[in-house]
Structure 1
Amino acid sequence: MNHSRPNDAAVIDPAVNDPPAQPTNVSTGRTSSPDHVWTVRNVMTGIAWGAAIDLALVIWTWIQVDKGMADRCATALVMPLGILWTFTLVASLLCFRRGARRFGIVFALLFALISITGNGDVADASMSSLEPPRADLDAQSEPFRCVVVLGGGVTIAYDEVPELGIAGQRIMYTAQLWHGGHTQAVICTGGSSLGRIQPAEAGRMMLESIGIPSDKIYESPGDNTSQEMKNLQAFFASPPPGFPRHGKIGLVTSASHMKRAMRLAAERDLKFVPLPCGYETGADYDFSPSELIPSPEAMDSFGRALKERLARLVNR
């Protein structure tokens, strides 16, 4: 005899099917959600807040500095990074005001991250601890045996013409050392699996174009600083005919990169005189409200300072 059983699907637990409770705005007693925050009215309010904040920064800069700086401040604010910076600030304030606290915290953290990593003073502080003092060439009683200029100072344009890149001061400083009579020869380093012209060759081409004799320029490959030092060790163990035999060896690279380069050189028993250049720690200026706006240049500088510290952690 079959006994009928109640349909399990018909048994409904009210607690299971109730919608989750929405956070409540304590000040107003209304339920708040992300959708509730991004209504047309709230978005328009946020735009008004953002415009007011940006306008206040521009006027403050004009009053404290001058119109020219105020113009640059306004330009920075309408650039992508400036818009993102203003948006994260306004979004965090709007979310907190409408009771969406979690979203407010997320936007506030994003605003803080952009503000810190894109701040020029923070970037300078990050770099200043990496950059050694400028070399005193007056202390050199005789010219260097040679100067090693690490790759990275020259880029290759679309038509395969070498041009100075962001680290181009390395090439400029090397040329100054040669024309000032401070070195007998130059070694350009660097290699890459990409592109037809290697960094060492590009460095040679650039130095030749500004008056350094071809027979005084040598090349040594290496895809990164570690490989460059390994190849330089082999180069100095068996130098080519005609290479100078006596004198100290100078090492030219960006100031922020010098400590890492010298550490990797010491691991290969290479003794160099550090010749840093391309300093990124800026001179001190009076405060301007426009300095509060993050810049891509400061972010790039902060990132490279972070890269140097990470490289030390992994012994690269």
Structure 2
Amino acid sequence: MLAFTKLVGMLLMPLGLIWLGLWGSAYWAFRRRVRGLGFALMGLAVGLALVGNVQLGHRLMGRLEAEVQPFSSKDAPLEALFVLGGGSAVDEQGRPALGDSGDRIVEAARLWHAGRVRWLVASGASQGTGPGSRNLGEETRTLWKDLGIPESAIRVIEEPCVITRDEVQAYTRLKAREGWQRVGLLSSAWHLPRAMALARRTGLEAVPVASDRRGRVPRWELWHLVPQQEGLHNTQGFCWEWLGRSMGR
């Protein structure tokens, strides 16, 4: 009964209603003998079911994450940990808060408290400079301080880094200036393969440190037949990473 109730609920959500509308429109087209339109609508319905499938979305994320091994407590400590921007958000009062990928900020703090890293380095900017822009590095600094990290252990990349390539290039220059030998690059596990590819292209030698893993496939449930936001989000994330990696960005 619970599975059936959730199935009905998902079908009544906006995405479920659009999906039902496609199937209903395909049925109407076949009844009117407009076969070309009917097959096109069926194709759209099947395509939406695939890209919005929860199981498929998690499997695609898992393919990206499988390229990155967990940072082990047996590994040697890091002199510095570079944390890519994108983990912070701003609440209704304008204060920094953890975003959807905020696990990277917490993971960095956890590693510092465990004595696994000496310096935490934050970066990132939203929309470059000017009205409405955000300094993601400063937001991360504020959150780290709230998590008990002393100011003396935090560095922030001052130059605006809007995309991952900008951040990696800034990290490369900072590492050379400071003379650090063993550094880490921390981001969401599904984003790290692209970030590490950029690091290799830039000449940045870094240990990948993953957070925010989303590749664990949930147990199949009846309501997973209906396309859902979670599936779309993960599938689009996979496609975005694949596109960015293909374009070298």
TM-score, reference length from structure 2: 0.91
One-letter amino acid matched to 1:254 = S
* Mapped partners of 2:21, 2:221: distance in 1: 22
Residues 194-246 of structure 1 show CA distances to partners (whole Å, capped at 9, x for unaligned) of 6354011111111111101111111114111111111112212223xxxxx65
Displacement of 1:146 in angstroms is: 1.2
Partner letter of residue 118 of structure 1? G
**What RMSD over aligned residues (CA atoms) do the two structures have, in Å?**
1.7
Q: Does 1:190 align with 2:124?
A: yes
The alignment status of 1:127 with 2:127, answered yes or no, reads no
- The Cα shift of 1:284 comes to 4.3
1:299 correspondence with 2:236? no
**What does 1:1-316 align with in structure 2 at a 5 Å threshold?**
62=1, 67=2, 69-131=3-65, 132-141=67-76, 143-192=77-126, 193=128, 195=132, 197-220=134-157, 221-239=160-178, 248-285=182-219, 287-316=220-249
How far apart are the structure 1 equivalents of 2:192 and 2:163? 14
Unaligned runs of 5+ in 1: 1-61, 240-244
Would the aligned equivalents of 2:81 and 2:185 in 1 still touch at CA under 8 Å?
yes
- Measured in 1, the distance between the counterparts of 2:50 and 2:133 equals 39
Shift of 1:313: 1.8
Structure 2 residue identity aligned to 1:84 = I
Cα 1:246–1:264 shift into 2, 3 Å: closer
Query: Contact 1:134/1:277 (CA < 8 Å) preserved in 2?
Result: no
Separation in 2 of the partners of 1:95 and 1:148? Answer: 55
What is the DSSP-based 3-state SS (H/G/I as helix, E as strand, rest coil) of the residue aligned with 1:195?
coil
The answer to which of 164-173 and 245-254 deviates more is 245-254
Larger-Rg structure: 1
Counterpart secondary structure, 1:148? strand
Greater fraction strand: 2
- C-alpha displacement of 1:133: 4.2
Letter in 1 for 2:230: E
**CA contact under 8 A between 2:125 and 2:133: conserved in structure 1?**
no
Q: Deviations over 1:239-293 (max 9, x none)?
A: 3xxxxx65521111011111110111111211111111111112442x3221111
Q: Distance in 2 between matches of 1:211 and 1:312?
A: 35
Give the drift of 1:122: 1.5
**Is the Cα contact below 8 Å between 2:83 and 2:121 reproduced in 1?**
yes
Give the fraction of aligned pairs with identical amino acids, expressed as a percent.
28
**What count of residue pairs does the alignment treat as equivalent?**
243
Do 2:63 and 2:215's aligned partners in 1 also have CA atoms closer than 8 Å?
no
Distance 2:135 2:4 in 1: 44
Runs of 4+ in 1 over 6 A off after TM superposition: none
> How big is each residue's C-alpha offset from its partner over 1:23-82, in whole Å with a ceiling of 9 and x where there is no partner?
xxxxxxxxxxxxxxxxxxxxxxxxxxxxxxxxxxxxxxx3xxxx2x43332221111001
- Residues 130 and 304 (structure 1 numbering): CA distance in 2 closer, same or farther, change over 3 Å? same
Matches of 1:292 and 1:114, distance apart in 2: 11
2 CA distance for matches of 1:177 and 1:185? 10
* CA distance 1:284–1:133, change in 2 (3 Å): farther
